[in-house]
Structure 1
Amino acid sequence: MIRIWFAVFAAALVISGCSGIKVNQDYDPTTDFASMKTYRWAAETQEKTGELRVDNPLRDTRIRAAVDRLLNEKGFRKFVDGSPTFLVRYQYVLRQKIGSDGGGIGFGIGSFGSHGGIAIGTGNSVRAYDEGALTIDFVDAASQSLLWRGTGTQPFREYDDPKKTNKDINLLVEKILAQFPPAKPE
Structure 2
Amino acid sequence: MKALLQFVFVICFFSCGPVINYDYEHRTDFSQYKTYNFFDDIESGMSELDENRFKEAITTVFKAKGYEMSDTPDFFVDIQSELYEVAQDGGFGVGIGGTGGNMGGGMSVGIPVSQNTTRRVIILEFLDKDRRTLFWQAVARGAYKQNASPEKRQLDFLKLVDKILSGYPPKKTAKN
- TM-score tier by shorter-chain length is 0.7 to 0.9
Pair 137,7 (structure 1): closer, same or farther in 2 beyond 3 Å = same
Moved more, 170-179 or 153-162: 153-162
Residues 129-149 of structure 1 deviation map (CA, whole Å, 9 limit, x = unaligned)? 221111110001111111000
Listed as ranges, the gaps of 5+ residues in structure 1 are 104-123
Q: Report how many residues are paired.
A: 156
Residue 112 (structure 1) aligns with: none
Residue 100 (structure 2) aligns with: none
Residues 52-80 of structure 1 deviation map (CA, whole Å, 9 limit, x = unaligned)? xx3x2111110111111111111111112
- Structure 1 counterpart of 2:169, one-letter code: P
Q: TM-score, normalised by structure 2?
A: 0.78
Pair 40,173 (structure 1): closer, same or farther in 2 beyond 3 Å = same
Q: CA deviation at 1:27?
A: 0.5
- Structure 2 counterpart of 1:149, one-letter code: Q
Greater Rg by CA: 2
**% same residue:** 25
Q: CA deviation at 1:11?
A: 3.6
Cα pair 2:39 2:78 within 8 Å, conserved: yes
Pair 142,161 (structure 1): closer, same or farther in 2 beyond 3 Å = same
Cα pair 1:40 1:79 within 8 Å, conserved: yes
After TM superposition, the structure 1 = structure 2 runs for residues 7-18 of structure 1, keeping only pairs within 5 Å, are 7-18=5-16
After TM superposition, the structure 1 = structure 2 runs for residues 59-138 of structure 1, keeping only pairs within 5 Å, are 59-80=50-71, 82=72, 84-100=73-89, 125-138=113-126
Q: CA deviation at 1:7?
A: 4.2
SS across alignment from 1:66: helix
Distance in 2, matches of 1:17 and 1:102, equals 21
Distance in 2, matches of 1:101 and 1:28, equals 41
SS across alignment from 2:22: strand
> 1:47 and 2:43 equivalent?
yes
SS across alignment from 2:49: helix
Residues 82-114 of structure 1 deviation map (CA, whole Å, 9 limit, x = unaligned)? 3x21111111111121224799xxxxxxxxxxx
Q: CA deviation at 1:177?
A: 1.1
Listed as ranges, the gaps of 5+ residues in structure 2 are 93-111
Distance in 2, matches of 1:48 and 1:138, equals 14
Pair 66,126 (structure 1): closer, same or farther in 2 beyond 3 Å = same
SS across alignment from 2:84: strand
Cα pair 1:43 1:89 within 8 Å, conserved: no
Cα pair 1:39 1:87 within 8 Å, conserved: yes
Q: TM-score, normalised by structure 1?
A: 0.74
- Structure 1 counterpart of 2:30, one-letter code: F
